[in-house]
Structures are given as C-alpha cells and as structure tokens.
C-alpha cells in the first residue's frame, strides 16, 4: 500500500490514524452504555453527555448468516456476523478470511478486527473497511475489492 494514497475509514467509528486500527464508541457519562453512532441522548438512560472511547479489537460471534441472494455483485456471497466485543459493545460486520459457508463459522472461537481496502473513488482516495477474522485468517487480503468503485448495490 503506497503511503501517497489518501485513506479514509468506511465509517467514522473506525479509527485508522491512532496506532493500530480500532473502533471508537460514544460512552454515556451517566450509565456507561457505548454506542457506535452519534446519539442526541443515550437510548439506554436518556443521558446527554458522552465521552469518545477506543473499543477492544477482539470479541466473539453471537450470530451469523451467509448472504447469497442480493449480495452486491462485486462482493459475492459473504458471511455477516454480529460480534460482541470484549467490553460488551456489539458491532455488525463481515467475517473475512473464510469461505462463504455456514460450516466455516465457529461461534466458540474468538475473532479479531482486521482492515482491508474496500474501494477507490475518482480522486484515488482509498476506503478502508474493517471486518473480523479468526486467528488463522490473519494473512487474508481482499485485493479483489480493488477497481470496483462506483458499483453501487
């Protein structure tokens, strides 16, 4: 990956610049509930003050599906997972580094956050997405994601 390429996170709760890539949550000052999106008040308690908090990069899969019908053409069938991070925050993402098969998913095995390039825009800016992988799937790259910019769902 060339350092001259401008990289942006695929969503604003993915932090790329500050050490290893990780997710950032809004933690409610009143009750401690942590939310990925911005909220006007806390959905758990109604509190209105939040503190930005880095989230753990490891967790476990609570549910999954292998999405076939309607999967974006440039992505193909994929494994959608709900991950419970080690601090109890939930995030939905793809499980990467495995074939898109139900038998490839083991909800007992921990997963960790990985990042990969998810597309390039007309200015050459690269979007960096995150997913989750098993320990054995570290070296997986998603170079097949390149060159499909503009291919909307």
Partner 1 sequence: MSDDVWIIGAAMTPIRRHLDRDVLDLAADAALGALDDASATIQDMGVLAVGTQFEPYTFGQQVQKQIGQTGIPVYNVHNACATGATAVRSVLMEIRAGETDMGLALGVEQMTAGSPPYRSTRPKDRNVFEPDGRDGHVLPTEGVLGTGQMYGVFAQTGTDYARRHDGVGFEQFARVAEKNHAHSTLNPLAQYQRPYSLEEIMQAEMLAYPNTLPMCCPTGDGAAAVVLVSDARLRTLDPDVRRRAVKISASVMTSDPYDPSGLAHPDVNTLTRLAADAAYEQAGVDPRDLDLVELHDCFATAELVHYDNLRLCEPGGAGEWIDRRGPWRDGEIPVNVSGGLISKGHPIGATGVANIYEVATHLRGEAGDRQIEGARVGLTHVIGLGSACAVHILERSAG
Per partner kind, with CB cut-offs from 5 to 8 A, the member of partner 1, Zn ion, none near residue 66 is partner 1
The first and second tokens of residue 11, run together, are: 């969503």
Separation between Cα atoms, residue 120 and residue 137, nearest integer Å: 24
Question: Which of 16, 30, 56, 84: binder of partner 1 (CB under 8 A)?
Answer: 84
The first and second tokens of residue 42, run together, are: 């806390």
Strands 34-35, 78-85: pairing kind: unpaired
Separation between Cα atoms, residue 82 and residue 87, nearest integer Å: 14
Per-residue interface string for the shown chain with Zn ion, residues 14-33, x marking contact by CB under 5 A: --------------x-xx-x
Per-residue interface string for the shown chain with partner 1, residues 119-148, x marking contact by CB under 8 A: x-xxx-x-x-xx------------------
Per partner kind, with CB cut-offs from 5 to 8 A, the member of partner 1, Zn ion, none near residue 53 is none
Separation between Cα atoms, residue 81 and residue 111, nearest integer Å: 11
Instruction: Rule CB under 5 A: say whether 39 interacts with Zn ion.
Output: no
φ, ψ for residue 51, nearest 5 deg: -125, 130
Residues in touch with partner 1 (CB under 8 A): 8-13, 33, 35-46, 48, 62-72, 75, 78, 80-82, 84, 88-94, 102, 107, 118-119, 121-123, 125, 127, 129-130, 149-150, 152-153
């Amino acid at each position: 990956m060339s350092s001259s390429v401008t990289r942006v996170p695929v969503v604003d709760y993915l932090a790329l610049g500050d050490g290893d890539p990780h997710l950032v949550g809004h933690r409610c000052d009143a009750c401690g509930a942590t939310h990925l999106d911005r909220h006007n008040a806390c959905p758990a308690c109604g509190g209105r003050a939040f503190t930005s908090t880095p989230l753990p990069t490891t967790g476990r899969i609570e549910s999954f599906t292998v999405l076939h019908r309607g999967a974006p053409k440039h992505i193909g069938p994929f494994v959608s997972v709900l991950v419970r991070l080690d601090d109890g925050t939930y995030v939905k993402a793809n499980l990467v580094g495995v074939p898109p098969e139900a038998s490839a998913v083991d909800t007992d095995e921990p997963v960790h956050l990985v990042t990969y390039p998810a597309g390039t825009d007309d200015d050459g800016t690269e979007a960096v997405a995150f997913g989750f992988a098993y320990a054995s799937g570290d070296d997986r790259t998603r170079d097949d994601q390149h060159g499909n910019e503009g291919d909307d769902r």
